[in-house]
Amino acid sequence: MSPAPAQRGREELGKHEKYRNSTGREIRELCRAGLWEDSTAGMARNFYQANLVILPKEYAFEFMCFCHRNPKPCPLIDVTEPGNPEFARAAPGSDVRTDLPAYYVYREGELVEERTDIKNIWRDDHVGFITGCTFSADAVLEESDVEFGRIETASGRFGAYVTSISCEPAGRLHGHMVLNARPVAAHSVARVVEITSRYPLAHGGPVHVGFPEQIGVDLAKPDWGQDRGTFGNYVPVFWGCGVTPAVVARESRLPEMITHKVAHMFVTDLRI
Amino acid sequence: MSPAPAQRGREELGKHEKYRNSTGREIRELCRAGLWEDSTAGMARNFYQANLVILPKEYAFEFMCFCHRNPKPCPLIDVTEPGNPEFARAAPGSDVRTDLPAYYVYREGELVEERTDIKNIWRDDHVGFITGCTFSADAVLEESDVEFGRIETASGRFGAYVTSISCEPAGRLHGHMVLNARPVAAHSVARVVEITSRYPLAHGGPVHVGFPEQIGVDLAKPDWGQDRGTFGNYVPVFWGCGVTPAVVARESRLPEMITHKVAHMFVTDLRI
């Protein structure tokens, strides 16, 4: 019998705890060796983790423009040369085809496949992009005096929501912005803005503070992740979310996009 | 008889003074109407000014990567859609073909022509890029308590130097970094770093502080601009310079690049 979700959550966190002080390279090597197919939450806490997007070269300039125009959901960290699977600046020696625990493949905007490597589908015209991830700021927030509402989900994280905010389009790329919500004690709101604004590569400061309905969000119905936390007397604060490109793939009907699996990130060599 | 340089310098500053509090749009309209072909130094002080680079679409993705990898010399502000001459986010309604006082045209890396508009040479495959300019931080520094060495040049600015620092390459684009030097009183060095670091779009904090010879610079021999200021007991502090892409054009032998004329910038609608 598989353990109850709360029990499983604690076990998972324990398993991740072992790699808390690992380097980015160590996590990538673990994935490359086929020894880790799980979420990277809480691992290599001192290193930036990143969302992955792989697109055909034909879309590369447009996606660069998209990231530049939408830095809150898509803070660009590094770009590969076309056909070269290495993120040469953020993670020298890396191989994007093997160094993540799991991948999603989207075709015509639909998620069609989940894989643990992409060796057989990587092509010479593929370009890889990594954009910053909220896990990186989490490490700093954990040590801070910011008071959050209780988080009881197995993943230890709150839900992500497709909002009514349109991203700034770029060529053929357009879509609604995805935001992560966290409940913040009123007396901590200014502080959490100050702290997260210092980390633009981890989505920076919030996109919205206070009224979910103004951005088309029903807190009880996240599009990703369970929301079993408490908002109650806490202020809902929303940060850019790296799932946004998946929504862009769907809304723009992109022929092909490969990404990391949600929460299964590329861990860089960049220290926070 | 034309006036001596120092006299001419004062007249020029007077002429610019009139537009000190103009908006970016007003300066662009002045240029578009053919009423201004001079430097934009000191004009529209509350708005970001920008370096311009126009390249064929074939180079657009590589230049985006180049800017992303070299944010100190090339802090990217906005990019046009291919063939569309409007910077739609930084300056709605702008027309890159007419809205600058003067342009340089480079072919095979050599400066071959200076123009006051580019209406007849703009093509459907052209993409425009604007990157931040040091003029924007100057306005803030002028009001600050930072003590600079004396500046006696006609332009009121110190020289720019091609350094021995190689930019991070991107595809076919490579070249040495150009830096601006300013003499800063030793007691002001930390302060000038603090202030300029707040303005990443105006080149941000310095790239080098202290030893010009370590970056291949002879202060007496600037590559652009005269240096008749005093370094003496002042610390030489170097910031990224928007002339860098012209050096990239030369070193990478780019078939075609159009830029602003030095110090004749694109003035945006973005407030500092």
Location of structure tokens 């898509």: A74
Q: Strand pairing of A256-260 and A103-107?
A: antiparallel
Element (H, E) at A55: strand A47-56
- Residues recorded for chain A: 272
Statement: residue B249 has pLDDT above 60: yes
Tell me if residue A67 falls in helix, strand or coil. Answer: helix
| Smallest Cα distance from B205 to chain A, Å | 15
Interface contact B79-A65, CB threshold 8 A: yes
Give the phi and the psi of residue A247 in degrees, each rounded to 5: -70, -40
Quick: pLDDT tens for A251-267: 999 999 999 999 999 99
φ/ψ bin of A227: left (φ > 0), alpha (ψ from -120 to 50), beta (otherwise): beta
Q: Are A215 and A163 in contact (CB under 8 A)?
A: yes
Interface contact B65-A57, CB threshold 8 A: no
Q: Are A247 and A259 in contact (CB under 8 A)?
A: no
The pLDDT value given to residue B156: 54
Correct CATH for A140-245 of 1.20.1630.10, 3.40.1390.10, 3.30.2040.10, 3.10.20.30 = 3.30.2040.10
The pLDDT value given to residue B15: 81
Interface contact B171-A65, CB threshold 8 A: no
The pLDDT value given to residue A6: 46
Interface contact B79-A68, CB threshold 8 A: yes
Q: Which residue of A has its CA nearest to B168?
A: A89
Interface contact A79-B57, CB threshold 8 A: no
- Partner-chain residue, chosen from B65, B89, B171, that has the shortest CB–CB distance to A69: B89
Measured in whole angstroms, the distance separating CA B237 from the mean position of its chain's CA atoms is: 17
Q: Which residues contact A148 (CB under 8 A, 6 or more apart)?
A: A141, A182, A183, A184, A185, A188, A234
> Which chain B residues are within 8 Å of A57, Cβ to Cβ?
61
d(CA B28, CA B5): 27
Q: Are A96 and A87 in contact (CB under 8 A)?
A: yes
- Superfamily of domain covering B5-135+250-271: PSTPO5379-like (3.40.1640.10)
φ/ψ bin of A225: left (φ > 0), alpha (ψ from -120 to 50), beta (otherwise): left
* Domain ranges across chain A: 5-135+250-271, 140-245
- Partner-chain residue, chosen from A57, A64, A89, that has the shortest CB–CB distance to B64: A64
Interface contact B64-A69, CB threshold 8 A: no
Q: Quick one: which of A46, A22, A40 has its CA closest to A266?
A: A40
d(CA A180, CA B129): 32
Tell me if residue A269 falls in helix, strand or coil. Answer: strand
Extract the tokens encoding A35.
């020894």
Q: Which residue of B has its CA nearest to A81?
A: B171
Quick: pLDDT tens for A11-58: 556 788 899 999 999 999 999 999 999 999 889 999 999 999 999 999
Report, as an integer, the average pLDDT of A181-191: 93
Q: Which residue of A has its CA nearest to B84?
A: A171
The pLDDT value given to residue A231: 82
Chain A positions with Cβ closer than 8 Å to B: 57, 60-61, 64-65, 68-69, 76, 79, 81, 89, 168, 171
Other C-beta atoms lying within 10 Å of the C-beta of residue A20: 12
Tell me the pLDDT band of B6, cut-offs 50, 70 and 90: very low
Extract the tokens encoding A218.
């029903």
Q: Are A248 and A167 in contact (CB under 8 A)?
A: yes
Extract the tokens encoding B24.
């970016």
Interface contact B65-A64, CB threshold 8 A: yes
Tell me the pLDDT band of B2, cut-offs 50, 70 and 90: very low
End-to-end Cα separation, chain B, in angstroms: 40
- Residues recorded for chain B: 272
> Which chain A residues are within 8 Å of B79, Cβ to Cβ?
65, 68
**B1/A38: higher pLDDT:** A38
Q: Are A134 and A39 in contact (CB under 8 A)?
A: no
Per-position b or e across B112-121, b if 16+ CB within 10 A of its CB: eeeeebbeee
- Partner-chain residue, chosen from A76, A79, A168, that has the shortest CB–CB distance to B89: A168
Extract the tokens encoding B200.
């990443």
Cα distances (angstroms) measured from residue B118 to each of B85, B92, B115: 11, 19, 7
Extract the tokens encoding A154.
């197995």
Q: Are A238 and A180 in contact (CB under 8 A)?
A: yes
B57, B59, B63, B64: best to mutate for the A interface, most A CBs within 10 A: B64
Element (H, E) at A138: helix A135-143
Q: Which residue of A has its CA nearest to B170?
A: A81
Quick: pLDDT tens for B74-115: 999 999 999 999 999 999 999 999 999 999 999 999 999 999
Extract the tokens encoding B72.
């100190």
The 3-class secondary structure across chain B, one letter per residue, is: CCCCHHHHHHHHHHHHHCCCCCCHHHHHHHHHCCCCCCCCCCCCCCEEEEEEEEEEHHHHHHHHHHHHHCCCCCCEEEECCCCCCCCCCCCCCCCCCCCCCCEEEEECCEEEEEECCCCCCCCCCEEEEEEECCHHHHHHHHCCCCCECCCCCCCCCCCEEEEEEECCCECCECCEEEEEEEEECHHHHHHHHHHHHCCHHHCCCCCEECCHHHHCCCCCCCCECCCCCCCCCCEEEEEECCCHHHHHHHHCCCCEEEEECCCCCEEEEEEC
Q: At A141, which amino acid appears?
A: L
d(CA B202, CA B271): 12
B55, B57, B58, B61: best to mutate for the A interface, most A CBs within 10 A: B61
Tell me the pLDDT band of B152, cut-offs 50, 70 and 90: low
The pLDDT value given to residue B17: 85
Tell me if residue A266 falls in helix, strand or coil. Answer: strand
The pLDDT value given to residue A240: 96
